[in-house]
Amino acid sequence: MRTVFERADSASRVMRRRRYLMCRPAHFTVEYSINPWMDPGVPTSGTTALGQWKRLRDLLVDLGHEVGLIAPLPGLPDMVFAANGAVAIDGKALVARFRHPQRTGESAAYEKWFADDGWSEVRQATAVNEGEGDFLPAGGVLLAGSGFRSDPAARQEAAEFFGLPVLGLTLVDPRFYHLDTALAVLDDEEVMYYPGAFDAESRELLAERYPDAILATEPDAEAFGLNAVSDGRHVLLASAAERLAGQLKERGFEPIGVELSELLKAGGGAKCCTLELRDGRIPPSTGARIRRVVPLPDSHAA
Ligand code: ARG
């Protein structure tokens, strides 16, 4: 009898418990426009936003994750998008420096939150850096987007701060103005992305590094399906991104649809609302993709 390795299936996808930081959308509204999704002329409902956000938070908690909260501040309606607040790896937090004046007030709140939470090194970025909106840790690499928000100079700064290699990617479609609207890290070595959001050079880099990546269609990307939160097994993504959910299932992930239509009016989705806190307080798993060994019947043996 011979054994072969099969593509990972849902029985072998291993969730790693995570710690996230979220911010209740207590002051959420769309009163300015800093991305193509935002139209201050379209009414928003605070109650709907809060209800949708709560379901996302409850889902994460029910899955076994820990969710910390940062207090929402009046006059900062985009603060619900906690992913933008910082990049937080190995107990070190690089706090955001926002591009637009409408959001600059958020940085001090994040700096204080990380200091109070006892992170060993907390510093605000010198270059414009919109946190996990543009910087996505993947295995031992930091995927770094620029083109609309974070400065290309922020790559070098993040690389030095965290001591990690950075893979710079350039975004070219204003609908996908943050990296996390165009690409999601599914586990250490797996990503899904929408190629049309990137320039030719970045598309080449991505194809080379992730030859097996899930490629999203334009409608799924537009539905914010790539603005997803993965724990290695469960992938929380916009329920409208149905085809993407099917692609995830084929790869053995467990897609979970979330409805965040109210927050989409500000150009945000599930990932925008969650900042991962990689502080080592929750023991990490091996991080390796685990494959199930399937014995082949003897008749199939060579
Ligand atoms: N209205 C916010 C902005 O334009 C949305 C931020 C979405 N966050 C994200 N991580 N993509 O800044």
Please choose, from the candidates 130, 166, 136, the residue with its C-alpha nearest in 3D space to the C-alpha of residue 150: 130
Stretch 192-208: mean pLDDT:
98
Written in H, E and C, the secondary structure of the chain is: CCEEECCCCCCCCCCCCCEEEECCCCCCCCCCCCCCCCCCCCCCCHHHHHHHHHHHHHHHHHCCCEEEECCCCCCCHHHHCHHHHEEEECCEEEECECCCCCCCCHHHHHHHHHHHCCCCEEEECCCCECHHHCEEEECCEEEEEECCCCCCHHHHHHHHHHCCCEEEEEECCHHHCCHHHCEEEEECCEEEECHHHECHHHHHHHHHHCCCCEECCHHHHHCCCCCCEECCCEEEEECCCHHHHHHHHHCCCEEEEECCHHHHCCCCCCHHHCEECECCCCCCCCCCCCCCEEECCHHHCC
Is 27 considered catalytic here? Answer: no
Stretch 28-40: mean pLDDT:
98
Among 27, 29, 84, say which to mutate for ligand 1: greatest number of ligand atoms within 8 Å of CB. Answer: 84
Stretch 197-223: mean pLDDT:
98
Q: How far is the CA of 219 from the centre of ligand 1 (A)?
A: 19
Give dist(CA 255, CA 242) in Å, integer: 10
Q: Answer whether residue 2 shows pLDDT above 90.
A: no
Q: How far is the CA of 268 from the centre of ligand 1 (A)?
A: 5
Domains in the chain: ranges and CATH: 16-276 (3.75.10.10)
- Whether the CB of 37 sits within 6 Å of ligand 1: no
pLDDT in tens, 54-88: 999 999 999 999 999 999 999 999 999 999 999 99
- Whether the CB of 181 sits within 6 Å of ligand 1: yes
pLDDT in tens, 179-195: 999 999 999 999 999 99
- What the block records as the tokens of 61 is 């908690």
Stretch 255-280: mean pLDDT:
97
Query: What is the model's pLDDT at position 98?
Result: 98
- Whether the CB of 178 sits within 6 Å of ligand 1: yes
Q: Which atom of ligand 1 is nearest to the CA of 181?
A: 11
Query: What is the model's pLDDT at position 12?
Result: 84
Confidence (pTM): 0.91
Is 273 considered catalytic here? Answer: no
